[in-house]
């Protein structure tokens, strides 16, 4: 999800207002939405039918999300489920029954709706950071790290992602599993797939239909329970994976033949490592390069989610190594200048991100988010090393 939220609920969601932008990538609820479509992540896309939202004022909370007043599936829902069954060779009847049981959730629609027209949301890096890199989340992070040190180190060894980074993501997303959401995922996804509250964004409804298709596929293959709960956007478990990410990046960490991101810490830890490794994380590379940028690096910022600069280019523009730093390892990698803005003040902090920074933005498409994860990880690491 790449639009600013009026009200936000879980983990990273609670502070995304500060991260919304027209120039810097905006924040998503969780990993979940990367990739956005099944086609992008290797799943055969289904023909999901028209995606124009049909939300009307008569639709009340807890009403059937997918049925006509007569009790039949809405035509677009019938098209969706028939195509899903045919193209993924899944049983039609139980999926019809599941969709018939889904309920419209007005809270989900309200939480995900865009801000009222004309309402300016000022981005503030310092405000955003203070909600994640704060004493309680750091203390709980140290506790989580110490309790799961062996698992975190196993994941680091297997995927090359440092243990503090994995712990930090789980901390930012769900307070180390304390707040994983209490929305029925089926209801949230059906609400957003077939009654998305912004008619000007039909691509959002299309994306949520893909997530619903992957959720039903996981249920039909006994990978998830139909009654699974998660965030209002349909994100699941400690790492807040959307169904597409569960399908492609989640890992059976303890080898018991079942992936449980909600109750099994080992599965959750390994799955975060798996996601980042498959999105470009490089073993041994820092998140930020030890660089002092020129006094005004604005022209070096492109606001994208891929590093496009080189150390040669940055050096020519006046960048220098920090005192005592070396250019070993990272200087041959593509780099990107990251702007962390204070819009009301017209100022920004700047850092130089390596490919590992941009791997973090694949988890959530926000410079604020990725930097908060890195900073929280640094704070946790400093304390567990004592």
Contacts of 20 (CB under 8 A, 6+ apart): 3, 4, 5, 26, 27, 121, 123
Which tens digit of pLDDT belongs to each residue from 80-108?
Answer: 999 999 999 999 999 999 999 999 999 99
Q: What is the pTM of this model?
A: 0.86
Residues 6+ positions from 208 with CB-CB distance below 8 Å = 189, 192, 193, 196, 234
Distances (CA, A) of 291 to 83, 119, 282, 315, 363: 52, 37, 19, 9, 25
Q: How confident is the model at residue 8 (pLDDT cuts 50, 70, 90)?
A: very low
User: What pLDDT shows up at residue 20?
Assistant: 34
Chain segment 340-381, per-residue pLDDT in tens: 999 999 999 999 999 999 999 999 999 999 999 999 999 999
Instruction: Give the C-alpha separation, 15 to 26, whole Å.
Output: 12
């Amino acid at each position: 999800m790449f639009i600013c939220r009026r009200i936000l609920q879980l983990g990273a969601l609670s502070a995304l207002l500060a991260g919304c932008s027209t120039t810097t990538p905006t924040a998503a609820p969780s990993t979940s939405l990367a990739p956005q479509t099944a086609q992008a992540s290797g799943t055969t896309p289904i023909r999901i039918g028209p995606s124009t939202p049909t939300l009307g004022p008569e639709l009340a909370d807890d009403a059937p999300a997918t049925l006509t007043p007569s009790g039949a599936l809405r035509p677009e829902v019938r098209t969706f489920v028939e195509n899903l069954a045919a193209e993924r060779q899944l049983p039609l009847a139980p999926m019809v029954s599941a969709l018939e049981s889904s309920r419209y959730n007005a809270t989900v629609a309200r939480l995900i709706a865009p801000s009222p027209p004309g309402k300016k949301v000022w981005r503030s890096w310092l405000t955003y950071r203070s909600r994640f890199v704060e004493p309680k989340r750091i203390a709980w992070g140290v506790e989580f790290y110490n309790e799961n040190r062996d698992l975190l180190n196993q994941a680091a060894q297997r995927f090359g992602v440092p243990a503090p980074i994995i712990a930090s993501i789980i901390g930012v997303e769900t307070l180390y599993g304390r707040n994983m959401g209490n929305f029925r995922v089926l209801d949230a996804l059906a609400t957003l797939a077939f009654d998305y509250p912004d008619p000007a964004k039909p691509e959002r409804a299309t994306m949520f239909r893909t997530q619903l298709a992957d959720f039903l596929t996981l249920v039909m293959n006994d990978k998830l329970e139909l009654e699974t709960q998660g965030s209002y956007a349909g994100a699941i478990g400690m790492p807040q994976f959307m169904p597409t990410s569960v399908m492609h990046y989640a890992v059976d960490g303890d080898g018991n033949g079942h992936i449980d991101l909600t109750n099994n810490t080992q599965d959750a830890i390994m799955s975060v490592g798996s996601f980042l490794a498959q999105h470009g994380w490089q073993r041994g590379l820092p998140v930020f390069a030890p660089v002092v940028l020129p006094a005004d690096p604005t022209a070096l910022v492109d606001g994208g989610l891929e590093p496009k600069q080189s150390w040669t280019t940055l050096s020519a523009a006046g960048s220098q190594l920090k005192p005592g730093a070396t250019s070993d390892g990272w200087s041959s990698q593509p780099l990107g200048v990251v702007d962390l803005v204070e819009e009301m003040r017209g100022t920004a902090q700047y850092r130089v991100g390596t490919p590992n920074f941009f791997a973090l933005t694949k988890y959530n498409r926000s410079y604020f988010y990725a930097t908060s994860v890195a900073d929280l990880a640094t704070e946790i690491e400093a304390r567990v090393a004592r």
